Amino acid sequence: MNHFSDTCLAGRTYLVTGASSGIGQASASLIAACAGKVILGGRDLERLEQTRAQLDTRTEHILAPFDFTDADAAAEWVKGLAAEHGLLNGVFHSAGTELIRPVRLTKQEHLNTLFQASVFGAFGIARALAQKNVASDGASVVLMSSVASSTGQAGMTAYAATKASVEGLVRALAVELANRRIRVNAIAAGAIKTAMHERLTRNSGEAATLEYEKAHLLGFGEPQDVANAVIFLLSDASRWVTGTTMMVDGGYVVR
């Protein structure tokens, strides 16, 4: 269900990374339902094509496969997209991966994988947007964070570090881009029922999963719950909101 005007993003172009599944896919779909043009970023071209096939067809949407490895490559990729498709009016950087692993078993290779998409990718996107002829003045940037950035949980040390890095980037970047009225915010999500969530809970057992769900006052969330927050932050409704992290967690953090 679309709770927003079906033309509130008309005439605007948005880059969504991680658009092949889960939260990224749901957000791309809602942007298109609001008449926005979507550039679909992600590693898997076939799944990106499947996402595009589901989108509102009032405007043409673009496939842009990309595998985040470092900030330099991400910056050049975004600059190339703007050169080909015009100024970006907003970005939702949803790409990332998960890891549950005790710190004693976490190695450099695990850190590399986690930081590449979430942090290095976000930094590269930010660097591109800070340059001329990439983002429009007044554009909006939304980065994906997690409640793990502010709550302690065994096995989540490396993952929490990436999300804390994202939120630090948001605060500093909001200051740096304010002269162009480019807003920068993050969304800290709780447990959302996606393929990633399924992988994380698969081996937990029914009792542990039920207890985890009870820790969310409103139960587990759906991708659409985050997508609704994304649209608010991308749209003019959030014109006076920047440098913040919005909790979309079903009440997890207040427990």
Give the DSSP per-residue string, 160-172: HHHHHHHHHHHHH
Residue in the structure block whose two tokens are 């409704």: 237
Q: Does the active-site annotation cover 159?
A: yes
Region of residue 145 (phi > 0: left; psi between -120 and 50: alpha; otherwise: beta): beta
Scanning 156-245, the segments in alpha helix (DSSP H) are: 157-176, 195-201, 206-214, 223-234
Q: Which long-range contacts (CB under 8 A, 24 or more apart) does 98-104 make?
A: 98/159, 98/196, 98/199, 98/200, 99/158, 99/159, 100/155, 100/156, 100/159, 100/200, 101/155, 101/158, 102/154, 102/155, 102/157, 103/157, 103/158
* Tokens at 184, concatenated: 């920068």
If you ran DSSP here, which 8-state letter would residue 119 be given?
Answer: I
| Dist. CA 235–CA 31, nearest whole Å | 10
Contact 18, 95 (CB under 8 A): yes
Euclidean distance between the first and the last CA atom of the chain, given in angstroms as a whole number = 29
Q: Which of 14, 159, 212, 252 is catalytic?
A: 159
Which SS3 state, helix, strand or coil, does residue 39 take?
Answer: strand
Residue in the structure block whose two tokens are 């269900």: 1
Active site residues: 159
